[in-house]
Chain A
């Protein structure tokens, strides 16, 4: 893993040393081109040169560079979206470095921010994992390489391809070319276009026909998972009859210095395939005064391309200063199924505008949306969703349930569902409620000797149960703890 990174980093340095980006473009990089010098990134700024340089650093083929440039040119023409219920400070896209080599890592846990360690303690993260999360150089902590390789062998035996996006572009160009951008086109939206132009890395998963992936895939255990960077690009393809469950993120807060995260995730499910995508997002939310924090602007979309396919999104969103995210499913195949289960928690000055889109195109397609929003402090939490029944969606069915829980007097909880129905045989149902934790519930708990904070977390846990049930078990346990930690200080 380190070899690859050093290789890329040194190339970046070499590029700058070689007086000009353009000149470097035509160069080919032999495998032997490895020098052991300190890694650096590209300087801040964004233009076609940056993109060519980035592409060259990653040793991408010509078609990839062109693809990025096309996205970039489109991005330049796009207005910034302003429809979400979010206050976003202007972002200076020229101030961002679009290829950051791995940052200087702390040598041991002693150098890590004590606040971070305290949180790990509360979450019960195993000791050896804490170091990895805090960004301590991996080889010093535990042998993730060997863990990774063990998994890799097992996956390879099953025929599953699971690697970084950079690797996939080099190793499986025909697959990448076939599917990349086929769900989220380069010009889909402002942030997706930006991502297409400058994405740094991400995961690539390919499950061949009829294969049931032998284990749950997780970025956390993947080699090269570190520093996939702020512009992550993930592509998961499940061929006919394939099954896969993918876990993204981690319950523990990750040390991270990138301000803007604009990721794109594309899922493709062919006939009879099933993809389950679970996310726990806990990026730095900013402090209790709303200073700092990550902007999490993500485009996630699944395409149920084949008949009888199924895509299921489950997300627990507790981090980030601003979340702008709508994992969607295009239900193209007949009888395909889309699901969205979400818990979004905001506290202090956090803002979330999140939800889903279910686009029903095929006959007898079904979708289910369960969204639980919890707002505390001075935060703002919005559900925004679209259910669209197109003309061909004969007998299609949707059920949506959106519940909001308010904790405190200064927060906001909002619901903006859109329903567009063009087929008279389709059925769409939407229900939403907003409430606070009732005094009766609190009184009941308190009278049985349960402390105020414990009572709140119990009630919140009950409120979210429907979503937690959809998470892989160990994630569900951690998600519950995560909510407790995130809600600290929300009452009393």
Chain B
């Protein structure tokens, strides 16, 4: 660990006063998390989980805490328009809830959606468990959890979304996080708590966008809990501007026969880190992820996926594709743990990557940790180039090399969206992928 005080980033994150005026337990928890961050400092590359993501550059910067003028920033709704996704939405600008941009009228029965700031003004007790810890899933005080700690200390807003037992949300619920340029380079934080009751069903779309190229640091921590037989379809589109540093942590906990399917697109940002953890704690729970990360320019995109099978007959499948161009770096870790006694677990993970440029780098690390014997577990990872034969095939049919490459690269990424049921959204996201490809 670095000496926290010596690093401008840690210093600036510690300097501002903590949000106050919440319930006493929350204020106490904030102080505790802040102290933990101050003691532990920022993770360096000697910490295994941060081996390939050096914070050297970021650690030398200072960010002003929060955006006092967030409520007044002019934000065009078109900036986060998403075809195929109409329905209730919650919009945050620089971490602050914006009622004027949100749409809460069309909430289906049984779905409660409100900003955390509002929820805390009411009966905060149901949030006590989640907010007392930096994150629900995973160990609270792991080395390198500095950002979850600072988030727990500082986040004053975020999403509280609850779907009552057996309620079904037909239209997707959309969560939009906008980073908007301000007078100073900002740090902002958001804390989300999402709960699906027994047999509940939810379509969720999470969007990360930017207005302006200014450097920012945002931390987002989401806890998602799925009750027995609950179903979640979750799409994450991260297309922030080149100045945005986004550090996210999503923890899912799946109870018996719950199912979660995640599609993740990591396109934008400067330094992007996503810790995606799932605990399959109920028998028969299923967790499926499909993801694409496409760093280019000087981007650094790091996805840390960790899936823990803790119950009988649980299933997980994870398919991730990475494409790195220019001087960019893509990092992927896919760890699967099958805990003792989790017989009947079936885990499958693959990560395929394309390197497009001599200055780009891909670091991938699939992991298996198996403590039960009645299991099927497999993983595969590749780093390479487009298949020469496929290129030859296309060229022999008169398609120029550059076009053939673009076509195959697009197909390579698009495959991850194939099982997305929303056709309009799928086409739109494919378009985003293609736009990201080098000309």
Seen from chain A, the residues whose Cβ lies within 8 Å of a Cβ on chain B are: 83, 389, 391, 404, 406-436
Taking a contact as CB atoms under 8 Å apart, the answer to whether B361 and A420 are in contact is yes
Taking a contact as CB atoms under 8 Å apart, the answer to whether A424 and B357 are in contact is yes
Does B367 count as interface, using CB distance less than 8 angstroms? yes
With a CB–CB cut-off of 8 A, which chain B residues contact A432? 366, 368, 378-380
Chain B residue with minimal CB distance to A389? B383
With a CB–CB cut-off of 8 A, which chain A residues contact B377? 433-435
Taking a contact as CB atoms under 8 Å apart, the answer to whether A435 and B375 are in contact is yes
Taking a contact as CB atoms under 8 Å apart, the answer to whether B384 and A419 are in contact is no
Tell me the complex Cα distance, A414–B379, Å: 12
Most buried by B among A407, A424, A435: A424
Q: Which of B368, B373, B383, B384 contacts A436 (CB 8 A)?
A: B373
With a CB–CB cut-off of 8 A, which chain A residues contact B355? 421, 423-424, 426
Does B392 count as interface, using CB distance less than 8 angstroms? no
Q: Which of A391, A409, A414, A424 contacts B369 (CB 8 A)?
A: A414
Most buried by B among A407, A410, A427, A428: A428
With a CB–CB cut-off of 8 A, which chain A residues contact B379? 415, 430-432
Chain B interface, >50% SS class: strand
Taking a contact as CB atoms under 8 Å apart, the answer to whether B382 and A404 are in contact is no
Chain B residue with minimal CB distance to A423? B358
Taking a contact as CB atoms under 8 Å apart, the answer to whether B380 and A430 are in contact is yes
Q: Which of A410, A413, A415, A429 contacts B340 (CB 8 A)?
A: A410
Shortest CB-to-CB span from A386 to chain B, Å, is 10
Given contact pairs A409-B341, A421-B361, enumerate 12 new A-B contacts (beta carbons under 8 Å). Answer: A406-B373, A408-B373, A418-B363, A419-B363, A420-B362, A421-B362, A421-B383, A424-B355, A427-B383, A429-B381, A433-B377, A435-B375
Taking a contact as CB atoms under 8 Å apart, the answer to whether A429 and B385 are in contact is no
With a CB–CB cut-off of 8 A, which chain B residues contact A428? 381-384
Taking a contact as CB atoms under 8 Å apart, the answer to whether A421 and B370 are in contact is no
Taking a contact as CB atoms under 8 Å apart, the answer to whether B373 and A409 are in contact is yes
Taking a contact as CB atoms under 8 Å apart, the answer to whether B385 and A424 are in contact is yes
Chain A residue with minimal CB distance to B371? A412
Tell me the complex Cα distance, A430–B361, Å: 17
Does B365 count as interface, using CB distance less than 8 angstroms? yes
Most buried by B among A414, A425, A426, A434: A434
Shortest CB-to-CB span from A372 to chain B, Å, is 14
Tell me the complex Cα distance, A135–B326, Å: 62
Taking a contact as CB atoms under 8 Å apart, the answer to whether B366 and A412 are in contact is no
Q: Which of A407, A414, A424 contacts B368 (CB 8 A)?
A: A414
Taking a contact as CB atoms under 8 Å apart, the answer to whether B373 and A418 are in contact is no
9 nearest interchain CB pairs? Answer: A427-B384, A424-B355, A406-B373, A434-B377, A421-B383, A436-B373, A415-B368, A428-B383, A433-B378
Taking a contact as CB atoms under 8 Å apart, the answer to whether A436 and B375 are in contact is yes
Contact code string B185-199 (vs A, CB < 8 Å = 1, else 0): 000000000000000
With a CB–CB cut-off of 8 A, which chain A residues contact B364? 419
Shortest CB-to-CB span from B209 to chain A, Å, is 30
Chain A residue with minimal CB distance to B333? A418
Chain A residue with minimal CB distance to B376? A435
Taking a contact as CB atoms under 8 Å apart, the answer to whether A406 and B370 are in contact is yes
Tell me the complex Cα distance, A424–B368, Å: 27
With a CB–CB cut-off of 8 A, which chain B residues contact A417? 365-367, 381
With a CB–CB cut-off of 8 A, which chain A residues contact B370? 404, 406, 412-414, 434
Tell me the complex Cα distance, A358–B380, Å: 18
Contact code string B337-362 (vs A, CB < 8 Å = 1, else 0): 00011000000000001011110111
Does B58 count as interface, using CB distance less than 8 angstroms? no
With a CB–CB cut-off of 8 A, which chain B residues contact A389? 383
Tell me the complex Cα distance, A102–B372, Å: 45
With a CB–CB cut-off of 8 A, which chain A residues contact B361? 420-422
Chain A residue with minimal CB distance to B325? A424
Q: What interface size band does chain B fall in?
A: 35 or more
With a CB–CB cut-off of 8 A, which chain B residues contact A431? 378-380
Chain B residue with minimal CB distance to A424? B355
Tell me the complex Cα distance, A427–B386, Å: 10
Taking a contact as CB atoms under 8 Å apart, the answer to whether A424 and B365 are in contact is no
Chain B residue with minimal CB distance to A400? B381
Tell me the complex Cα distance, A380–B86, Å: 51
Tell me the complex Cα distance, A275–B378, Å: 33
Does B125 count as interface, using CB distance less than 8 angstroms? no
Taking a contact as CB atoms under 8 Å apart, the answer to whether B366 and A430 are in contact is yes
With a CB–CB cut-off of 8 A, which chain B residues contact A409? 340-341, 372-373
Does B403 count as interface, using CB distance less than 8 angstroms? no
Q: A417-B365, A419-B365 are in contact. Are A434 and B383 (CB under 8 A)?
A: no
Shortest CB-to-CB span from B336 to chain A, Å, is 9
Tell me the complex Cα distance, A407–B370, Å: 12
With a CB–CB cut-off of 8 A, which chain A residues contact B372? 406, 409
Tell me the complex Cα distance, A445–B363, Å: 43
Q: A420-B361, A422-B361 are in contact. Are A436 and B369 (CB under 8 A)?
A: no
- Residues of B141-158 at the interface with A, using a CB-CB cut-off of 8 Å, are none
Taking a contact as CB atoms under 8 Å apart, the answer to whether A430 and B382 are in contact is yes
Taking a contact as CB atoms under 8 Å apart, the answer to whether B381 and A419 are in contact is yes
Does B374 count as interface, using CB distance less than 8 angstroms? yes
Does B213 count as interface, using CB distance less than 8 angstroms? no
Taking a contact as CB atoms under 8 Å apart, the answer to whether A429 and B382 are in contact is yes
Q: A391-B358, A427-B385, A433-B378 are in contact. Are A421 and B373 (CB under 8 A)?
A: no
Shortest CB-to-CB span from B289 to chain A, Å, is 18
Does B48 count as interface, using CB distance less than 8 angstroms? yes
Shortest CB-to-CB span from B408 to chain A, Å, is 15
Taking a contact as CB atoms under 8 Å apart, the answer to whether A420 and B363 are in contact is yes
Tell me the complex Cα distance, A313–B375, Å: 30
With a CB–CB cut-off of 8 A, which chain B residues contact A391? 358
Taking a contact as CB atoms under 8 Å apart, the answer to whether B369 and A412 are in contact is yes
Chain A residue with minimal CB distance to B335? A416
Taking a contact as CB atoms under 8 Å apart, the answer to whether B363 and A421 are in contact is yes
Chain B residue with minimal CB distance to A388? B363
Tell me the complex Cα distance, A451–B370, Å: 28
Tell me the complex Cα distance, A126–B372, Å: 40
Taking a contact as CB atoms under 8 Å apart, the answer to whether A434 and B382 are in contact is no
Tell me the complex Cα distance, A426–B360, Å: 12
Shortest CB-to-CB span from B364 to chain A, Å, is 5
Chain B residue with minimal CB distance to A404? B370
Taking a contact as CB atoms under 8 Å apart, the answer to whether A424 and B373 are in contact is no
Taking a contact as CB atoms under 8 Å apart, the answer to whether A427 and B382 are in contact is yes
Tell me the complex Cα distance, A408–B34, Å: 45
Tell me the complex Cα distance, A431–B363, Å: 16
Most buried by B among A413, A414, A436: A413
Tell me the complex Cα distance, A407–B340, Å: 13
Tell me the complex Cα distance, A124–B320, Å: 50
Shortest CB-to-CB span from B365 to chain A, Å, is 5
Q: A410-B340, A423-B355 are in contact. Are A434 and B368 (CB under 8 A)?
A: yes
Q: A415-B368, A420-B363, A426-B384 are in contact. Are A407 and B373 (CB under 8 A)?
A: yes
Shortest CB-to-CB span from B100 to chain A, Å, is 47
Chain A residue with minimal CB distance to B384? A427
With a CB–CB cut-off of 8 A, which chain B residues contact A413? 368, 370
Chain A residue with minimal CB distance to B343? A409
Shortest CB-to-CB span from A465 to chain B, Å, is 20
Tell me the complex Cα distance, A411–B382, Å: 29
Q: Which of B340, B341, B380, B383 contacts A426 (CB 8 A)?
A: B383
Tell me the complex Cα distance, A423–B357, Å: 8
Listed by A's residue number, 13 A-B pairs whose Cβ atoms lie within 8 Å are A83-B48, A406-B372, A412-B371, A417-B381, A420-B362, A421-B355, A425-B385, A426-B383, A428-B382, A429-B380, A430-B379, A431-B378, A432-B378
Q: A413-B370, A432-B368, A434-B370 are in contact. Are A419 and B383 (CB under 8 A)?
A: yes
Tell me the complex Cα distance, A436–B345, Å: 12
Q: Which of A411, A424, A434 contacts B375 (CB 8 A)?
A: A434
Contact code string B385-413 (vs A, CB < 8 Å = 1, else 0): 10000000000000000000000000000
With a CB–CB cut-off of 8 A, which chain B residues contact A430? 366, 379-382
Shortest CB-to-CB span from B154 to chain A, Å, is 32
With a CB–CB cut-off of 8 A, which chain B residues contact A408? 373
With a CB–CB cut-off of 8 A, which chain A residues contact B384? 426-429
Shortest CB-to-CB span from B415 to chain A, Å, is 18
Tell me the complex Cα distance, A416–B376, Å: 17
Tell me the complex Cα distance, A426–B324, Å: 14
